[in-house]
Structure 1
Amino acid sequence: MIRQQQQQQQQQQPGRAVSAAVADPLGPGERRPRVAIIGTRGYPSHYGGFETAVRRLAPALADAGWDVTVYGRPGATTADGADPRIVRRETRGLETRSLSTLTYGFTATADAVRRRPDVVLVMNCANGFWLPLLRWRGVPTLVNVDGIEWERAKWGRLARAVFRAGAVATARWADRIVCDAREIERRWRDEFGVEGVFVPYGADAPDASTAELAEADSALVPGGYVLFVARLVPENTVAEFVAAAELIARRHPVVIVGTSGYGGALDERVADLAARYPNVEHLGHLRDDRRLFALWRNAGVYFHGHSVGGTNPALVQAMTCGAPVVARDTVYNREVLGETGVFVAPEPGEIARAVVGLLDDPTRRADLGAAVRRRARRHYAWSDVCAAYESRLRELLG
């Protein structure tokens, strides 16, 4: 039974509660432990991997007996599909590519310091600068360090230095860190002397409604197109894939999902590609999971170009949907795919040859699709991921 409570917090600053409901106590005299989640755009949001993880984790923690607060940004979430038990708080920040993480992280941390939850889950090591505030307040922290942000091509020299400094601060002040890949775990151990705990991302099993393409995509032939899903930033091999798509589109349709979030040269290149080639479709950012899952399930090939990071949520979801994968050859992608993917160098001609070759080989496509689906089910179930987070948070309560 869920008991709705009036939240006088809505008028308090700097955090503003935009929804609230708290589950009944576990038993007479028992107080539910309180966890705050900082570092995402909020709950529920479909922006990226962290947001996807929080959409699954927050309700799971509530099921396990926690009071859950998720900090976010104004206008970045929707009430559709929100679990009423989750308290959603918004704080202010600067909405720029370089400063948004730091500024929203600071204001959310400041609000959490004032409210003093029992434990805080922090997403992104860039928020490591603010961990001393929580340590001073006596609030233990579990930090998902994300990928190796200071190696991402989209950042300039100053931003990379800031991310690196944030990692150093995280290594110093976090009570425990979570690494979403074994390689990330190794990097933190070797470079910062910190032992992390490995917890990957999960993926949702597609339901029957995603077996067929959405009406908007009905012109596509199942198994006959290549799908690219990524934020349009350099380290995701966007420029190389755009060049490869000019070759692929001569024989097969190309579907591109994603934007940079802030506009720029890569967004313009993708838009120009779609304008020049009738066989290329740019769908922008998709909030409709059912449509995206259907695109993955029916794709002849999914090209995954992410190069800096750990276990990528889009890759795991594509695997769960059974999409045959051609991936940029990185230690992270090999860790996730094992022997179930086709790996290529970030060179347009090689990408095009691998994609077209797989599109023209239905038997191999079927074999790879079945193999990635089995691997995803075995290693990347959300139930296991959420249980691992809950266990680590419980340990910090002591």
Structure 2
Amino acid sequence: MAKSVAIIGTRGYPSYYGGFETLVRHLAPYLAEHGWDVTVYGRAGATDPDDPERDTRVHTVTTAGIESKSISTLSYGLTASAHAARHRPDVALVLNVANGYFMPLLRARRIPIVCNVDGIEWDREKWGAKAKAVFRGGARMTARYADEIVCDAQQLVDRWSVEFGRDGLFIPYGGTDGGDLPPVAPLAGKPYVLMVARLVPENTLADFLTAVEKLSTSCDVAIVGSSGYGGEWDERVAYLATHHENVHWFGHLHDDTTLLALWRHAGVYFHGHSVGGTNPALVQAMASGAPVVARDTVYNREVLGENGLFVDAEPSAIADAITRLMADAELREKLRAGAKARAAEHYTWSEVCASYDRALTAQLTTRAKVLSS
């Protein structure tokens, strides 16, 4: 009989929404190929049933929830966890500490839990005091009930050890070398700056958009991403794209080929993420060979090593660093080659998926010993 795993905490499979969804698009087929009966929980309407990238060996279950910025994760996490508890998979892979509140449901059914804790959600500017308290509470529940903690950066392993007294297993994200893709039509033959990020404050959005005012006078700027819920940041980016002919807003891209091509041909990729650990967009930029200017954080330094330029979150510093790198072809090539080599050595999907396979299998071994004792 196949060993079974339930994956809880994403919008579904295959989904293109964020980092966890990217992980599941790679991991679910890998596990199915390696003898697992895989079930991914998700939300109605969040995936395309006719997506050609869908692996038919991966089972999907949609559960009810409330589509709201503040409680969607909690509501869908509750219904998915309750459904999984009833059906009793051999192990659960839970993504996001907000789902820590529902881990007692799984533990009551003696289901081992491996949890990817994501970043430090209570540090994110987009959340108010109540939401931050909810995430911290979920982290405490995760520290208590999860059998294994997965952190996508070594810096997160260290923080969980200090704040919650839990050892963590380091498994980062992977990147894909898309090869020699043709440039995206609006930017073909043009030097351009690229930013790929959710439109939220902690991604250095305000400072970057101010820098764009200056940058767009000398080169094109491509922005990929949205807030997911509309609002002031989407409106500001839309205004820039409407009033500056050199600014191009692609919104949230579901087409991986277009996104990989944008990274492949970017003169500079700006990475402004300030919280979290190993960011999938940064790893993918590196694998694609995009020269990187990144906000100076411990996480970005851990991932890039010496293969990027680091700047403070200040518009003039961002604009100056990007302008300098755009004008220095030799430095761009050095950073491009270094980043690609680092991604190929440390951040591959094959090793990421194999690490999750080992972590899940280890829980089955532990469970078997407990049940036989």
When the two structures are superposed, what TM-score results if normalisation uses the length of structure 2? Answer: 0.96
Q: Distance in 1 between matches of 2:270 and 2:2?
A: 44
Bigger mean CA offset, 302-311 vs 358-367: 358-367
- Letter of the 2:138 counterpart: G
Residue aligning to 1:276:
243
Q: CA deviation at 1:204?
A: 1.4
Alignment of 1:184-333 (within 5 A): 184-208=156-180, 210=181, 212-214=182-184, 216-217=185-186, 219-221=187-189, 224-333=191-300
Alignment of 1:94-173 (within 5 A): 94-173=66-145
- Letter of the 2:204 counterpart: T
Residue aligning to 2:62:
90
Give CA deviations for 1:119-142 in whole Å, capped at 9, x if unaligned.
Answer: 000000110000011000110000
Q: Distance in 1 between matches of 2:138 and 2:45?
A: 27
Q: Distance in 2 between matches of 1:228 and 1:176?
A: 34
Q: CA deviation at 1:207?
A: 3.1
Q: CA deviation at 1:203?
A: 1.0
- Letter of the 2:10 counterpart: T
Provide the secondary structure at the position in 2 that maps to 1:114.
helix
Q: Distance in 2 between matches of 1:58 and 1:205?
A: 20
Q: Distance in 2 between matches of 1:89 and 1:276?
A: 44
Residue aligning to 1:22:
none
- Point out 4+ residue stretches in structure 1 off by more than 3 angstroms: none
Q: Distance in 2 between matches of 1:289 and 1:221?
A: 21
Give CA deviations for 1:209-236 in whole Å, capped at 9, x if unaligned.
Answer: x2x213x33x4325x1100000000000
Residue aligning to 1:48:
18
Residue aligning to 2:359:
392
Provide the secondary structure at the position in 2 that maps to 1:297.
helix
Q: CA deviation at 1:369?
A: 0.5
Bigger mean CA offset, 102-111 vs 273-282: 273-282
Provide the secondary structure at the position in 2 that maps to 1:186.
helix
Residue aligning to 1:26:
none
Provide the secondary structure at the position in 2 that maps to 1:92.
coil
Q: Distance in 2 between matches of 1:285 and 1:332?
A: 24
Alignment of 1:2-13 (within 5 A): none
- Letter of the 1:365 counterpart: R
Provide the secondary structure at the position in 2 that maps to 1:314.
helix
Alignment of 1:71-90 (within 5 A): 71-79=41-49, 80=51, 81-90=53-62
Residue aligning to 1:357:
324
Give CA deviations for 1:56-77 in whole Å, capped at 9, x if unaligned.
Answer: 0001101110000000000111
Give CA deviations for 1:349-370 in whole Å, capped at 9, x if unaligned.
Answer: 0000000111111111111111
- How many residues are paired up? 363
Q: Distance in 1 between matches of 2:239 and 2:178?
A: 32
Q: CA deviation at 1:87?
A: 0.3
Provide the secondary structure at the position in 2 that maps to 1:286.
coil
Q: Distance in 2 between matches of 1:236 and 1:158?
A: 21
- Letter of the 1:190 counterpart: V
- Letter of the 2:28 counterpart: A
Provide the secondary structure at the position in 1 that maps to 2:270.
strand
Q: Distance in 1 between matches of 2:189 and 2:137?
A: 48
Q: Distance in 1 between matches of 2:298 and 2:356?
A: 24
Provide the secondary structure at the position in 1 that maps to 2:80.
helix
Residue aligning to 2:371:
none
Provide the secondary structure at the position in 2 that maps to 1:78.
coil
- Letter of the 1:261 counterpart: G
Residue aligning to 2:368:
none
Q: Distance in 2 between matches of 1:117 and 1:305?
A: 39
- Percent identity over paired residues: 60
- Letter of the 1:343 counterpart: F
Q: Distance in 1 between matches of 2:170 and 2:360?
A: 14
1:61 and 2:31 equivalent?
yes
C-alpha RMSD of the superposition: 0.8
Q: Distance in 2 between matches of 1:113 and 1:190?
A: 31
Q: CA deviation at 1:206?
A: 0.8
Provide the secondary structure at the position in 1 that maps to 2:114.
strand
Residue aligning to 1:10:
none
Q: Which blocks of at least 5 consecutive residues in structure 2 are unaligned? A: 366-373
Residue aligning to 2:369:
none
